Amino acid sequence: MEDWSPTSWTTKPIKQDVTYDDPEAVKAALEKLKKLPPLVTPQEIVNLKKCLRNVALGKAFVLQGGDCAELFDYCNQDKIEAKVKLLLQMSLVLIWGANKPVVRIARIAGQFAKPRSSPTETVDGVTMLSFRGDNINGFAATPESRRPDPSRLVSAYFHSAATLNYLRAALSSGIADLHSPLDWGLGHVITPSIKQKYERIVNRVTDSLRFMRTVGLDRDRGVHTVDIYTSHEGLSLEYEQCFTRLMRHPPDALSESEESRFSSSSSSTARHRRASSTSSPPPRGYYDTSAHFLWIGDRTRQVNGAHVEFFRGLSNPIGIKIGPTMTAEELVQLLDTVNPSKEIGKVTLITRYGASKIAQHLPGHIAAVQKSGHLPVWQCDPMHGNTQSTPSGIKTRHFSDIMSELKQALEIHRAMGSFLGGMHLELTGEAVTECVGGAGGLTEEGLSERYETFCDPRLNEKQALELAFLVAGFYREELEEPTDI
């Protein structure tokens, strides 16, 4: 990495960049960000890397989900708690189904920027810049609102910090305590046979929790709280650069010669220093402390582009979105570029083909990666390849397509001796009406009831839980009797 620095990306061509009118205001905003404390710590990032290594080896499953595009207004207690509770509920179903630990990663506390297919749009005959996310410009359809404002980058930090502060406080205060009653709420399921299948899984999960409580196996931190890591697309490189900081070994860490000098001493100071030295500090390297996990989007994954250049120097675990336009050769080249040492689980490949295209592209990508010697985490994003518009122009996704792509991914990986290590979902813990279908039978006519997204349509809490049932049933089928899910 001698030819890399946090600023080397500026020498490369860039996609989805933002042009500001006031360079001095941009400079002032970035200088402010550089002085602010990290949002997450390198040790937390290392802990996630260890978890994702287990996922890549087939020993765990990763659940990643949250809003398509966070808004500053989402920084409130109810919305944060709704997401946490949904991720917990889904992960319980997945743990029961796969009989493996679940790594929880939320699209939260930083998922503000969004790539767009077109830099401009026309509203009521007026052409203006597209909405790029709350950390870039405003959603209101006026040229002034859509003007990029660098002060929003600083606002993004403080909203991320406030969100993360409450997330940590809620987790440490017992929001994820398994002793608390869980609202499985299957009343929305209108098909009796499907409801029966879901109820069977819920009963088994609750029976397992009841058994743990009865025999005293729940007297452990693991049933009172959980780890939830943060993630977002690393789109705004100026912002990410401000939080990319070199981690050195602590100055008071003992060298081997120092340790030998203290080894024969019985003083309390010596014992304390030896004890301190046993906790390994994070490896030396550059950590992007804006989030635990960041990913490169399908529109910014050019091997010689600025985003790949920036990401290849990070010590964070990173993701890469993989779409149908990616060739097998490009995929291997990307992996060789961002992970030349072939560190297991360092890279998460987030596949997003579409239900009608996954069978055409995924097998070739798996085969190429297997041949290359890389061992990434394979994660299915069944959302982005299945977006469509209704006749009236409302953007939506059909739950049947989402379910189909996820099920095909599970089957293709199993057939090729691979492992689908996780799913990546745009979801909300609220009862929105943005995706058609599901066990609740939402129709296109019903989309207007609570269509609240400012970008792409999200699964509501019931639809997201249904996907967890699907995956749980698939893996449970391998462990015991068939489940018909």
Supply the Cα-derived Rg of the chain in whole angstroms. Answer: 23
| Residue 284 vs residues 42, 53, 265, 288, 456: alpha-carbon distances, Å | 10, 19, 29, 13, 38
CB neighbour list of residue 310: distance below 8 Å, 6 or more residues apart: 6, 8, 9, 234, 237, 240, 241
Gap between the Cα atoms of 96 and 479, Å rounded: 11
The answer to whether 68 is a known ligand-binding residue is yes
For 429, the 3-state DSSP assignment is: coil
The answer to whether 426 is a known ligand-binding residue is yes
Q: Are 136 and 18 in contact (CB under 8 A)?
A: yes
Q: How many CB atoms lie within 10 A of CB 422?
A: 25
The answer to whether 384 is a known ligand-binding residue is yes
| Residue 372 vs residues 21, 71, 369, 375: alpha-carbon distances, Å | 45, 40, 5, 9
* The residue count for the chain: 485
Taking alpha carbons only, the member of 170, 178, 280 closest to residue 221 is 178
CB neighbour list of residue 328: distance below 8 Å, 6 or more residues apart: 364, 365, 367, 368
Q: Among the residues of 314-441, which ranges form H helices?
A: 328-338, 358-372, 399-415
Gap between the Cα atoms of 56 and 36, Å rounded: 34
Gap between the Cα atoms of 291 and 308, Å rounded: 17
The DSSP result for 393-421, as a single string, is S-EEEEHHHHHHHHHHHHHHHHHTT--EE
CA 98 to chain centre: 20
Report which DSSP code applies to 340. T
Q: Are 68 and 113 in contact (CB under 8 A)?
A: no
Gap between the Cα atoms of 95 and 83, Å rounded: 18
Q: Are strands 435-436 and 102-107 parallel, antiparallel or unpaired?
A: unpaired
| Dihedral pair phi/psi, residue 242, rounded to 5° | -60, -25
The answer to whether 107 is a known ligand-binding residue is yes
Tokens of 91: 């992960």
Gap between the Cα atoms of 98 and 103, Å rounded: 13
Binding-site residues for Mn(2+), in ranges, read: 68, 384, 426, 456
Binding-site residues, in ranges, read: 68, 107, 321, 352, 384, 426, 456
Binding-site residues for phosphoenolpyruvate, in ranges, read: 107, 321, 352
